[in-house]
Amino acid sequence: MTLVIMAAGMGSRYGGIKQIDPMGPSGEIILDYSVRDAVKAGFDRVVFIIRKDIEKAFRETVGNRFTGKVDVEYAFQELDDLPAGFTVPTQREKPWGTGQAILACRDIIDESFIVINADDFYGAEAFIEGAKGLKSVDPAKLDGFLVSYRLSNTLSPHGYVTRGVCEEQNGLLSCVTERFKIGRNADGVVEYQEEDGSHPMTGEELASMNFWGFSPAIFPELERRFIEFLKENGHGMKTEYLIPSEVDALISSGKMSVKVLKTEASWFGVTYPEDKPSVKATLKSLVEQGIYPSPLW
Protein backbone atom coordinates (compact mmCIF):
# COMPACT_ATOMS: atom_id res chain seq x y z
CA MET A 1 0.00 0.00 0.00
CA THR A 2 1.18 3.49 -0.88
CA LEU A 3 1.16 6.57 1.33
CA VAL A 4 1.68 9.92 -0.41
CA ILE A 5 2.91 12.78 1.76
CA MET A 6 2.61 16.34 0.50
CA ALA A 7 5.79 18.09 1.62
CA ALA A 8 6.51 20.58 -1.17
CA GLY A 9 5.68 23.50 1.10
CA MET A 10 7.83 22.46 4.02
CA GLY A 11 10.80 24.64 3.10
CA SER A 12 8.78 27.83 2.94
CA ARG A 13 6.59 27.12 5.96
CA TYR A 14 9.51 26.36 8.26
CA GLY A 15 11.98 28.86 6.86
CA GLY A 16 14.24 26.15 5.44
CA ILE A 17 14.04 22.38 5.43
CA LYS A 18 16.86 22.00 7.97
CA GLN A 19 14.94 24.10 10.47
CA ILE A 20 12.05 21.66 10.88
CA ASP A 21 11.33 21.74 14.56
CA PRO A 22 11.77 18.58 16.66
CA MET A 23 8.58 17.85 18.54
CA GLY A 24 8.97 14.38 20.05
CA PRO A 25 10.91 13.60 23.24
CA SER A 26 13.84 12.27 21.20
CA GLY A 27 13.80 14.97 18.55
CA GLU A 28 11.16 13.43 16.26
CA ILE A 29 9.28 15.64 13.83
CA ILE A 30 5.54 15.19 13.34
CA LEU A 31 6.09 13.45 10.01
CA ASP A 32 7.99 10.64 11.79
CA TYR A 33 4.81 9.65 13.61
CA SER A 34 2.74 9.52 10.42
CA VAL A 35 5.24 7.23 8.69
CA ARG A 36 5.50 4.95 11.70
CA ASP A 37 1.72 4.73 12.09
CA ALA A 38 1.36 4.00 8.37
CA VAL A 39 3.98 1.25 8.44
CA LYS A 40 2.28 -0.37 11.42
CA ALA A 41 -1.03 -0.23 9.53
CA GLY A 42 0.51 -2.15 6.61
CA PHE A 43 1.82 0.52 4.26
CA ASP A 44 5.05 -0.47 2.57
CA ARG A 45 5.71 2.50 0.27
CA VAL A 46 5.97 6.23 0.93
CA VAL A 47 6.06 8.83 -1.84
CA PHE A 48 7.17 12.27 -0.74
CA ILE A 49 6.01 15.17 -2.89
CA ILE A 50 8.70 17.83 -2.62
CA ARG A 51 10.31 20.58 -4.68
CA LYS A 52 13.53 20.08 -6.58
CA ASP A 53 15.22 22.94 -4.73
CA ILE A 54 14.83 21.19 -1.37
CA GLU A 55 15.56 17.65 -2.61
CA LYS A 56 19.10 17.32 -1.23
CA ALA A 57 18.25 18.79 2.16
CA PHE A 58 15.02 16.79 2.40
CA ARG A 59 16.70 13.48 1.58
CA GLU A 60 19.45 14.11 4.12
CA THR A 61 17.27 15.53 6.88
CA VAL A 62 14.04 13.59 6.46
CA GLY A 63 13.96 10.90 3.79
CA ASN A 64 17.09 9.00 4.76
CA ARG A 65 15.83 8.34 8.28
CA PHE A 66 13.35 5.83 6.83
CA THR A 67 15.95 3.72 5.01
CA GLY A 68 15.32 0.05 5.73
CA LYS A 69 11.94 0.78 7.29
CA VAL A 70 9.81 1.49 4.23
CA ASP A 71 10.36 1.99 0.49
CA VAL A 72 10.78 5.71 -0.19
CA GLU A 73 10.26 7.48 -3.50
CA TYR A 74 10.04 11.11 -4.53
CA ALA A 75 7.79 13.13 -6.81
CA PHE A 76 8.39 16.78 -7.59
CA GLN A 77 5.88 19.58 -7.59
CA GLU A 78 7.20 22.42 -9.69
CA LEU A 79 5.72 25.78 -10.55
CA ASP A 80 6.22 25.21 -14.28
CA ASP A 81 4.74 21.69 -14.41
CA LEU A 82 1.79 22.86 -16.50
CA PRO A 83 -0.25 21.41 -19.36
CA ALA A 84 0.79 22.31 -22.89
CA GLY A 85 -0.13 25.84 -23.87
CA PHE A 86 0.13 27.35 -20.38
CA THR A 87 2.93 29.43 -18.88
CA VAL A 88 3.72 30.70 -15.40
CA PRO A 89 2.74 34.32 -14.68
CA THR A 90 5.88 36.45 -14.48
CA GLN A 91 5.71 37.25 -10.77
CA ARG A 92 4.20 34.01 -9.45
CA GLU A 93 6.50 32.21 -7.00
CA LYS A 94 4.58 29.30 -5.44
CA PRO A 95 3.25 26.09 -7.03
CA TRP A 96 -0.44 25.64 -7.71
CA GLY A 97 -1.78 23.84 -4.64
CA THR A 98 -2.62 20.34 -3.48
CA GLY A 99 -4.32 19.31 -6.74
CA GLN A 100 -1.14 19.96 -8.68
CA ALA A 101 0.84 18.22 -5.93
CA ILE A 102 -1.08 14.99 -6.39
CA LEU A 103 -0.64 15.25 -10.16
CA ALA A 104 3.11 15.16 -9.59
CA CYS A 105 2.67 11.45 -8.75
CA ARG A 106 0.79 10.52 -11.92
CA ASP A 107 3.74 8.75 -13.57
CA ILE A 108 4.85 6.68 -10.56
CA ILE A 109 1.58 5.52 -8.96
CA ASP A 110 -0.72 2.98 -10.61
CA GLU A 111 -2.57 1.74 -7.54
CA SER A 112 -4.99 3.20 -5.02
CA PHE A 113 -3.25 5.39 -2.45
CA ILE A 114 -3.64 7.62 0.59
CA VAL A 115 -2.48 11.24 0.63
CA ILE A 116 -1.83 13.39 3.71
CA ASN A 117 -0.10 16.61 4.75
CA ALA A 118 3.49 16.36 5.96
CA ASP A 119 3.13 18.56 9.02
CA ASP A 120 -0.06 17.22 10.59
CA PHE A 121 -0.41 14.59 13.32
CA TYR A 122 -3.26 12.26 12.38
CA GLY A 123 -3.02 9.44 14.93
CA ALA A 124 -2.63 5.69 14.46
CA GLU A 125 -6.38 5.08 14.21
CA ALA A 126 -6.60 7.21 11.06
CA PHE A 127 -4.07 5.03 9.25
CA ILE A 128 -5.80 1.85 10.35
CA GLU A 129 -9.06 3.22 8.95
CA GLY A 130 -7.26 4.33 5.82
CA ALA A 131 -5.77 0.89 5.25
CA LYS A 132 -9.24 -0.64 5.53
CA GLY A 133 -10.62 2.00 3.20
CA LEU A 134 -8.10 1.23 0.47
CA LYS A 135 -9.36 -2.33 0.28
CA SER A 136 -12.78 -1.06 -0.81
CA VAL A 137 -11.49 1.31 -3.51
CA ASP A 138 -11.86 0.00 -7.07
CA PRO A 139 -8.69 1.08 -8.94
CA ALA A 140 -10.66 1.29 -12.19
CA LYS A 141 -13.33 3.65 -10.85
CA LEU A 142 -13.30 7.28 -9.85
CA ASP A 143 -14.02 6.76 -6.19
CA GLY A 144 -12.26 7.17 -2.88
CA PHE A 145 -12.70 8.07 0.75
CA LEU A 146 -12.03 10.70 3.36
CA VAL A 147 -10.91 10.00 6.91
CA SER A 148 -12.79 12.66 8.88
CA TYR A 149 -12.34 14.06 12.36
CA ARG A 150 -14.70 15.43 14.96
CA LEU A 151 -14.38 19.20 14.51
CA SER A 152 -13.79 19.81 18.22
CA ASN A 153 -10.77 17.49 18.02
CA THR A 154 -9.05 19.73 15.46
CA LEU A 155 -9.17 23.19 17.05
CA SER A 156 -6.31 25.30 18.33
CA PRO A 157 -6.65 27.03 21.72
CA HIS A 158 -4.51 29.88 20.39
CA GLY A 159 -6.59 31.27 17.55
CA TYR A 160 -8.99 30.70 14.72
CA VAL A 161 -8.54 27.93 12.15
CA THR A 162 -9.95 27.15 8.72
CA ARG A 163 -11.57 23.75 8.24
CA GLY A 164 -13.38 21.89 5.50
CA VAL A 165 -16.69 21.00 7.18
CA CYS A 166 -18.15 17.82 5.71
CA GLU A 167 -21.69 16.70 5.14
CA GLU A 168 -22.51 13.06 4.52
CA GLN A 169 -25.49 11.08 3.35
CA ASN A 170 -25.70 7.30 3.74
CA GLY A 171 -22.00 7.14 4.52
CA LEU A 172 -20.99 9.12 1.43
CA LEU A 173 -19.55 12.60 1.30
CA SER A 174 -22.11 15.02 -0.13
CA CYS A 175 -20.13 18.26 0.14
CA VAL A 176 -17.19 19.99 1.81
CA THR A 177 -17.68 23.61 2.87
CA GLU A 178 -14.69 25.73 3.79
CA ARG A 179 -15.37 27.55 7.05
CA PHE A 180 -13.02 30.29 8.14
CA LYS A 181 -12.22 31.63 11.59
CA ILE A 182 -13.44 28.62 13.54
CA GLY A 183 -12.73 28.63 17.26
CA ARG A 184 -14.21 28.68 20.74
CA ASN A 185 -15.73 31.86 22.11
CA ALA A 186 -15.36 33.10 25.68
CA ASP A 187 -18.08 30.68 26.79
CA GLY A 188 -16.34 27.70 25.18
CA VAL A 189 -18.88 27.40 22.36
CA VAL A 190 -17.49 26.42 18.97
CA GLU A 191 -18.34 28.99 16.31
CA TYR A 192 -17.21 30.38 12.98
CA GLN A 193 -16.98 34.00 11.96
CA GLU A 194 -18.30 35.62 8.79
CA GLU A 195 -18.93 39.20 7.75
CA ASP A 196 -22.43 39.05 9.22
CA GLY A 197 -21.16 37.89 12.62
CA SER A 198 -20.68 34.68 14.61
CA HIS A 199 -22.39 31.39 13.84
CA PRO A 200 -22.51 28.69 16.54
CA MET A 201 -21.50 25.11 15.80
CA THR A 202 -21.85 21.95 17.86
CA GLY A 203 -18.25 20.79 17.57
CA GLU A 204 -19.58 17.40 16.46
CA GLU A 205 -19.37 18.33 12.78
CA LEU A 206 -17.04 16.26 10.62
CA ALA A 207 -13.87 18.01 9.51
CA SER A 208 -11.59 17.20 6.62
CA MET A 209 -7.91 17.38 7.50
CA ASN A 210 -6.65 16.38 4.04
CA PHE A 211 -6.53 12.63 4.71
CA TRP A 212 -7.79 11.25 1.40
CA GLY A 213 -7.86 7.88 -0.31
CA PHE A 214 -8.01 7.81 -4.12
CA SER A 215 -7.95 5.35 -6.96
CA PRO A 216 -5.46 6.04 -9.79
CA ALA A 217 -8.47 7.07 -11.87
CA ILE A 218 -8.18 10.44 -10.11
CA PHE A 219 -5.12 11.39 -12.18
CA PRO A 220 -6.69 11.87 -15.64
CA GLU A 221 -9.63 13.66 -14.07
CA LEU A 222 -7.36 16.04 -12.18
CA GLU A 223 -5.36 16.66 -15.35
CA ARG A 224 -8.51 17.57 -17.25
CA ARG A 225 -9.80 19.82 -14.48
CA PHE A 226 -6.39 21.48 -14.04
CA ILE A 227 -6.65 22.72 -17.62
CA GLU A 228 -10.05 24.22 -16.89
CA PHE A 229 -8.72 25.77 -13.68
CA LEU A 230 -5.82 27.40 -15.51
CA LYS A 231 -8.08 28.80 -18.20
CA GLU A 232 -9.97 30.70 -15.51
CA ASN A 233 -7.28 31.27 -12.88
CA GLY A 234 -3.92 30.79 -14.55
CA HIS A 235 -3.14 34.51 -14.45
CA GLY A 236 -3.37 34.69 -10.66
CA MET A 237 -0.38 35.21 -8.40
CA LYS A 238 -1.80 33.17 -5.51
CA THR A 239 -4.69 31.11 -6.92
CA GLU A 240 -4.55 27.44 -5.90
CA TYR A 241 -5.88 24.23 -7.41
CA LEU A 242 -7.09 22.51 -4.25
CA ILE A 243 -8.14 18.90 -3.68
CA PRO A 244 -11.16 19.61 -1.41
CA SER A 245 -12.66 21.96 -4.00
CA GLU A 246 -12.08 19.53 -6.86
CA VAL A 247 -13.48 16.56 -4.95
CA ASP A 248 -16.51 18.64 -4.01
CA ALA A 249 -17.08 19.55 -7.67
CA LEU A 250 -16.71 15.93 -8.80
CA ILE A 251 -19.22 14.79 -6.20
CA SER A 252 -21.68 17.53 -7.18
CA SER A 253 -21.43 16.53 -10.83
CA GLY A 254 -22.11 12.88 -9.98
CA LYS A 255 -18.76 11.71 -11.32
CA MET A 256 -17.23 10.62 -8.04
CA SER A 257 -18.26 8.69 -4.95
CA VAL A 258 -16.36 9.33 -1.71
CA LYS A 259 -16.93 7.30 1.45
CA VAL A 260 -16.68 9.04 4.81
CA LEU A 261 -14.59 7.17 7.36
CA LYS A 262 -14.46 8.48 10.90
CA THR A 263 -11.86 8.58 13.60
CA GLU A 264 -12.11 9.70 17.21
CA ALA A 265 -8.41 10.55 17.21
CA SER A 266 -7.30 14.09 17.94
CA TRP A 267 -5.59 15.86 15.05
CA PHE A 268 -2.98 18.43 15.91
CA GLY A 269 -0.39 20.58 14.24
CA VAL A 270 1.50 23.80 14.75
CA THR A 271 -0.94 26.34 13.35
CA TYR A 272 0.43 29.04 15.66
CA PRO A 273 3.85 29.31 17.36
CA GLU A 274 1.98 29.06 20.66
CA ASP A 275 0.84 25.56 19.66
CA LYS A 276 4.36 24.13 19.90
CA PRO A 277 4.51 23.60 23.67
CA SER A 278 1.16 21.79 23.71
CA VAL A 279 2.16 19.60 20.74
CA LYS A 280 5.38 18.64 22.50
CA ALA A 281 3.51 17.96 25.73
CA THR A 282 0.95 15.79 23.91
CA LEU A 283 3.63 13.72 22.21
CA LYS A 284 5.47 13.30 25.51
CA SER A 285 2.22 12.14 27.11
CA LEU A 286 1.63 9.61 24.32
CA VAL A 287 5.11 8.21 24.98
CA GLU A 288 4.48 8.07 28.73
CA GLN A 289 1.24 6.18 28.06
CA GLY A 290 3.19 3.62 26.03
CA ILE A 291 1.45 4.48 22.76
CA TYR A 292 4.76 5.41 21.12
CA PRO A 293 8.32 4.43 22.02
CA SER A 294 11.07 6.98 22.46
CA PRO A 295 13.13 7.11 20.35
CA LEU A 296 10.44 6.35 17.80
CA TRP A 297 12.48 4.05 15.55
- Report the alpha-carbon distance of residue 160 to residue 165 in Å, rounded: 14
pLDDT for 34: 95
Q: What mean pLDDT comes out for the span 16-45?
A: 87
pLDDT (tens digit per residue) in 246-289: 998 999 999 999 999 999 888 888 777 777 888 899 999 999 99
pLDDT at 140 over 80: yes
- Report the alpha-carbon distance of residue 180 to residue 182 in Å, rounded: 6
* H or E stretch at 275: helix 275-288
pTM of the model: 0.90
pLDDT (tens digit per residue) in 265-274: 888 887 777 7
- Burial 164-174, CB ≥16 within 10 A → b, else e: bbbebeeeebe
**Chain centroid offset of residue 174 CA:** 19
pLDDT at 51 over 80: yes
Listed in sequence order, the residues at least 6 apart from 170 whose beta carbon sits closer than 8 Å to its beta carbon are none
- Report the alpha-carbon distance of residue 279 to residue 282 in Å, rounded: 5
pLDDT (tens digit per residue) in 214-245: 999 999 999 999 999 999 988 888 899 989 88
Listed in sequence order, the residues at least 6 apart from 127 whose beta carbon sits closer than 8 Å to its beta carbon are 34, 37, 38, 40, 41, 43, 114
- Report the alpha-carbon distance of residue 100 to residue 76 in Å, rounded: 10
Domain spans of the chain, in order of start: 2-142+210-288
Which superfamily is assigned to 2-142+210-288 in CATH?
Answer: Spore Coat Polysaccharide Biosynthesis Protein SpsA; Chain A (3.90.550.10)
pLDDT (tens digit per residue) in 159-182: 888 888 999 999 999 988 888 899
End-to-end CA distance of the chain: 20
**Chain centroid offset of residue 127 CA:** 13
Q: What mean pLDDT comes out for the span 152-163?
A: 86
pLDDT (tens digit per residue) in 69-114: 999 999 999 999 899 999 999 888 889 999 999 999 999 999 999 9
Work out the pLDDT band at 18, boundaries 50, 70, 90.
Answer: very low
